[in-house]
Each structure stands twice: as C-alpha cells, then as structure tokens.
Amino acid sequence: MSTDLFLNQDKVNELEPFEGDERTRAMLSPYAVPRTVSLDLDDDLVEHVEFGYSEEETEGGAAALDARSDPKVIVATGNETQKVLSLDFTPAVGVDGLRRVAKRLEEQALGIQSKAKKLSYVMTARVLTEFVIAIALSRGDR
Amino acid sequence: MSLWSPSSWTKKGVADGVEFFFAATSAALAPWVTLAKQADKTTPAVLLGVSAFLTLVAKYASRTLEQREKASGEAHVRSLAARAVQAILAKMQEYYFADEAGDERYKHRVTLFKCVEDAARGKHLAIFSRVGVRLDSQCFWRLDDNHPDGCRGVAGKIWYHNITDIKIAACDWPKDGEPALKARYAQSLDITVAEAEALNVKSRAFAGAPVMVSGRKWGVLLLDSLKDGFITDSPHKKGLLNRYTELVGRVLTEVLS
C-alpha cells in the first residue's frame, strides 16, 4: 500500500539545514526542498520512500548509503541537483528502523563534498525523523 | 565573266551548286544534327539532371524560408520569454525590497543569468534579463563544470554548487581606493580584486538560486544590493526568492519548450 503525505512547508522551512555564518549562507535550492513523501507500506513496514519536489528530475544514480545491512539502504539521487529522490530498504523497516536510517543519513552527510547533496541528505534525515515523531505521537507513545 | 552571269549556269554548274548548297547546309547544321541525334539518348539524363537541380533549388529555397520562419519564430519566442521574465523580475524587486523607500530602490537589482557557451568565453553566465541599473551591462561570469574555482562570482558558485546562496561582503567597496579594503571586499565575495574593479556596481549583498528549465539547470537568479540589511535569510525573504525562482523556471519551461 502506498501512502502519500504532503509536507507542511512552514515545518519544512524550520527543518531546512544550512551551512555558513551570518555573512555567507548556503541552503537548499528551491528545487531540492521536499514537498511530498510517498511510502510503500506493508504490515507497518516500509520498503520504499520517495520524495516529491517542485521540479521533476531524472535519476542520476543509486548507491548504498553505507556498508551496513540492517537494513541495506539504497539512495537514489537526482541527476542535476543531487537531491535525494528515494530510499529503498532491504529488509523493510518499521518506525524505529526509520529513525536509525535517519541517523545513518546524517552521519554519511558529514563526509559528502557536494554542498547540495550534503544538505539534501540532512534534510531527508530530518523529514524522516519528523515522520517517525508524528507516527509515535499519533500512536500515543513518546 | 560575271559571277552572276547566267551563261555560267550550266547544267553541271547547277548540279554542282545544288550539291554545294546541300553540303554547305549540312556542314552548318552538323552540330545541331549531332545534338539532335544524341538527343534521343541524352534527353532523359538531361531532364533528370535539370529536374534534380530544380528540386535542389526548390528544397534550398524551402529550407531557407523554413529557417527564416523558424528563426523569426524563435526570436519571437525569445522576445516573449524575455518580456514575461522582465515582468516577473520587476514584481520580485518590488516585493523583495518592499521596505525600501522609492527613490532608493535603484540600489537593489534582480538579474537572471542564462548559461551559454561560445568560442570566445567558453561556458559562462550571461545576463538574460535585469531589473535595476546597468540594464545594458555586458557582465558575464565564467563557468567550469569540473571545479568550483573555475566558476566565477557569486552567480558562478551558485551554479556550480546547485544551492541557494547568500553572501554579504565584509565591507563596502572603498571610495578612496584603499587597497586593503578592496582586497577584503573581493576576498569576502570569492572574487579577485581585478574582477571586483571591473564590476559597474559594487554591491554589498547578494542572494541567488539556480533556475531549472525543463528539468535541466538553465541559469541563475541573482539579487544584489548596494545596502546591507535588505538581503537576508528570513523565512519571508527566502520564501520570496524560492517562489520567484520557481516561477521564472516554470514560465521559461512553458515558453521555451
């Protein structure tokens, strides 16, 4: 079952990462700010997450996030902007698994040279974390 | 004896004359007769050649006309795109610098750079449309797909890194030509002193984002201001920059595709 979620843009703006100081600031381009998230759910397990943006972009490649296999995460990025287009999990993960994937994304972002790709990894991690928090809140657990 | 004397017209003479007449006529007509004889063999080839030539001429004329129409159509589309973008940039300037007094508005500009490539300059960002002073500027910024140092100016860095960027110069460009301040200004904007000196307008603050058209990186939208404090990363101003950047991209996608 696929679930599409429209992201609250005010919340997204709050989550948006940046680099630099008050005199120079690098941020995501307008085309790399996620607008929607689409999840393939099977028995509360997520196999695939897709991010929607204001401008469609062809995939530039997909690569393993890291060497880990708990789960193995394949990250597909855009050809032009290198923004994160989708994540695939093997095996599928539950809500707690998503939280761990978000942490791994943040860790990997630290080593990425490309500013656009780095910021997109961090943004993706933050959106996933927010999603996990929203699910937890809706279930009544903290 | 006169040449025309009838006495000289003997039977033999008449016969010789007739023979001579036919011989002379035959000699005179020989090339035409030869051609006529050959005509049966050559006419199809000649006709084919002529028809092929005429076809080529017709095709050339048709293609030239098509190219002229296409060029005229493309020029028309470019003109439409430029006018539409100009109107959008004017609105953007009005909203983004809304807190500026009317007579000071000239101190803030909005420029749309387009990525182009030619033999003289290589790949570079050239002005496509601008609102503000120096509309006729020939300013351009070189690009290099392989190294950020080859992408010059704030616009070039935005292009290379594919990010929204805000840069505030460490100081104003010194009016008295103080070399240390010139160097400080240039260094804080990641440009050389020579590049800074070549600028018609030595702005203090910049903000910009890459523009995508039909899913491809097309250019850079850049705001620049002579005054510090008007270009900021506040949610409102960042929202304006994002929305107008996307709007320009969408309009160009519609018009140019």
Give this complex's ipTM: 0.90
Task: Round to whole Å and give the CA distance between A80 and A78.
Answer: 6
Residue B74 — pLDDT band, cuts 50, 70, 90?
confident
| pTM higher than the cut 0.90 | no
- Test B165 with A28 for CB contact under 8 angstroms: no
Question: Can you tell me the mean pLDDT for A109-129?
Answer: 96
Residues 6+ away with beta carbon under 8 Å from A110: none
Q: What is the dihedral of CA A25, A26, A30, A34, to 10 degrees?
A: -110
Question: Can you tell me the mean pLDDT for B86-111?
Answer: 90
Predicted local distance difference test score (pLDDT) of residue B43: 64
Question: Can you tell me the mean pLDDT for B58-85?
Answer: 81
- Strand ranges across the sheet with B216-225: A18-20, A24-28, B163-168, B205-213, B216-225, B108-118, B122-131, B140-142
Question: Can you tell me the mean pLDDT for B64-93?
Answer: 85
Residue A91 preceded by cis peptide, ω within 30: yes
- Test A31 with B210 for CB contact under 8 angstroms: yes
Give A-chain residues touching B164 at CB under 8 angstroms.
Answer: 26-30
Per the listing, tokens 């523009």 go with B211
Residue B246 — pLDDT band, cuts 50, 70, 90?
very high
- Test B210 with A119 for CB contact under 8 angstroms: no
- Test B168 with A28 for CB contact under 8 angstroms: no
Per the listing, tokens 């296409």 go with B70
Predicted local distance difference test score (pLDDT) of residue B7: 43
Sort residue B62 into left (φ over 0), alpha (ψ -120 to 50) or beta. Answer: alpha
- Best mutation target, A8, A31, A57, A77, to test chain B (most B CBs within 10 A): A31
Shortest distance between the Cα of A2 and any Cα of chain B, in A, equals 25
Shortest distance between the Cα of A15 and any Cα of chain B, in A, equals 12
Shortest distance between the Cα of A128 and any Cα of chain B, in A, equals 22
Task: Round to whole Å and give the CA distance between B245 and B248.
Answer: 5
Give B-chain residues touching A82 at CB under 8 angstroms.
Answer: 162
CB distance A93 to A73 below 8 Å: no
Task: Round to whole Å and give the CA distance between B52 and B49.
Answer: 5
Sort residue A124 into left (φ over 0), alpha (ψ -120 to 50) or beta. Answer: alpha
Say whether residue B210 is in contact with chain A using an 8 A CB cutoff.
Answer: yes
Say whether residue B246 is in contact with chain A using an 8 A CB cutoff.
Answer: yes
3-state DSSP helix/strand/coil % of chain A, to nearest 5 = 35, 35, 30
- Best mutation target, B147, B159, B161, to test chain A (most A CBs within 10 A): B161
Q: Both tokens of residue B247?
A: 């709007």
Quickly list H helices, chain B. Answer: 11-96, 153-161, 179-188, 193-198, 235-256
Residues 6+ away with beta carbon under 8 Å from A45: A91, A92, A93, A94
